[in-house]
Amino acid sequence: MNLTLVGLSHQATPIAVRERAFVPLPQAAELARELAAEGEAVCLSTCNRTELYLVGDQAERRALDALAAISRLSEDELRGVVYRLTDEAAALHLFRVAAGLDSMVPGEGEILGQVRSAFEAGATGPVLDRLFRQALHGGKKVRAETAIAESPASVSSAAAALAQQVFGQLEGCRVMLVGAGHVAELSARSLAARGAQIAFVANRSPERAEALAARFGGTGVPLEGATERLAEIDVLVSSTGAPGRAFGRAEVESALRGRKGRPLFLIDLAVPRDLDAAIHELDGCFLYDIDDLESVVAASLAGRRREAGRAEAIVAEEADRFRDWQASREVVPAIASLRAWAEEIRAAELARARGRLGLSESQHAAVESVTAQIVNKLLHLPTVRLKEAAAGAEGGSYAQALRHLFGLGDDDKR
């Protein structure tokens, strides 16, 4: 088995090079098919990495040529940024990638889907099929058994996660955006992705309010009318950044009276701040500004890094399992050949003896049984030892030695 990985990633390659090496999924499928003409191939390409996993002869050479062709970089330019890994190291790398341990944000969830897509678009055989299935399994296991992916990793996702902590599922939660800029849109996307309804968009420019509201199926309202809507919403995202407060404590307090105790979650993403900090003191009101959200993200990232140690242990287990499988692929055919060879000799010698000795049916059956037992006993210990060796690194050498000592051909190696 000769698994080869050639790739480049955010760890050592600037974005200017990464974007040149990026391969969209349809082209990645095509490239994999081309490269698999002499074996197996998968192309994994995301905004952070482009990696070619190959099995076959001259894999490194072919992968480098392919990368050079995609990125239109010379081999020398590529040499400084690409990494080349083989066998166990390549497998471990993919398992870490699928677990999100090689990502910019540890444990990010998107990469697992990207690995799956690359696998499905790839031209796989027994080795890459096993490798990618195990990588996907390991990635899921890491997310299920550790808290690496539980906490938010960006300000907008932190805001949405905090809203969920107040309301639970956000389906049916009504959101009002105050301000219709890029920041408001990012937050709206994050909340809408979790099921929240963007009910109102308030902005100084009614056209911009209408345009953003239309994108999320909401209603545009003038900035002056936003206060009246406070009683109808659950989450307020404010990001005008204009001088002067958009809402004071008194306005929110009076809106709370019509809410029958239902909490109100307010996110102030503006600098200078739009919302009066005293709103947070009101019972049932939770106000988070940009600093609060950033400290939530920082704490969450620290938590992810702490969990990374546990994730590494799970990934290492998966890598061990893959190595054992690899080793058994070399040893099992050797054992089968040895047993077939011994059985052939036994059967031939028995047939010769039967004619020479004139054995009856019952005598022949007895001799057959005895010789089979002898062969089994002779081969039992070498078989056990070989299987044990398969679990270690020297399984391949043992298999090779066995073939050499007993003259077993390579042609039956599966």
Q: How far apart are CA 102 and CA 309, in angstroms?
A: 13
Q: How far is the CB of 280 from other proteins (least distance, A)?
A: 7
Which phi and psi angles does 360 have, rounded to 5°? -75, 175
Instruction: Answer yes or no whether residue 232 interacts with other proteins by CB under 8 A.
Output: no
Instruction: Answer yes or no whether residue 146 interacts with other proteins by CB under 8 A.
Output: yes
**How would you classify residue 172: left for phi > 0, otherwise alpha for psi between -120 and 50, otherwise beta?**
left
Instruction: Answer yes or no whether residue 259 interacts with other proteins by CB under 8 A.
Output: yes
Between residues 40 and 307, which has the closer beta carbon with respect to other proteins? 307
Q: How far apart are CA 161 and CA 196, in angstroms?
A: 12
Query: Which segments within 69-204 are labelled E, that is strand?
Result: 83-86, 174-178, 197-203
47 is catalytic: yes
Q: How far apart are CA 399 and CA 386, in angstroms?
A: 7
Instruction: Answer yes or no whether residue 150 interacts with other proteins by CB under 8 A.
Output: yes
Q: In this chain, which of 22, 53, 247, 288 binds other proteins, going by CB under 8 A? A: 288
Q: In this chain, which of 168, 244, 355, 409 binds other proteins, going by CB under 8 A? A: 168
C-alpha dist (Å) from residue 300 to 37, 48, 102? 45, 22, 17
Q: How far is the CB of 152 from other proteins (least distance, A)?
A: 7
Instruction: Answer yes or no whether residue 299 interacts with other proteins by CB under 8 A.
Output: yes
CB 381 within 8 A of CB 333: no
Q: Which of 93, 92, 140 is nearest to 116 (CA)?
A: 140
Instruction: Answer yes or no whether residue 283 interacts with other proteins by CB under 8 A.
Output: yes
Instruction: Answer yes or no whether residue 387 interacts with other proteins by CB under 8 A.
Output: no
User: H/E element holding 187?
Assistant: helix 182-193
Between residues 283 and 361, which has the closer beta carbon with respect to other proteins? 283
Instruction: Answer yes or no whether residue 305 interacts with other proteins by CB under 8 A.
Output: no
Instruction: Answer yes or no whether residue 290 interacts with other proteins by CB under 8 A.
Output: no
Between residues 124 and 164, which has the closer beta carbon with respect to other proteins? 164
Given the rule CB under 8 A, which residues bind other proteins?
144-147, 150-152, 161-162, 164-168, 259-263, 280, 283-284, 286, 288, 292, 295-296, 299-300, 303, 310
**Catalytic machinery residues:** 47
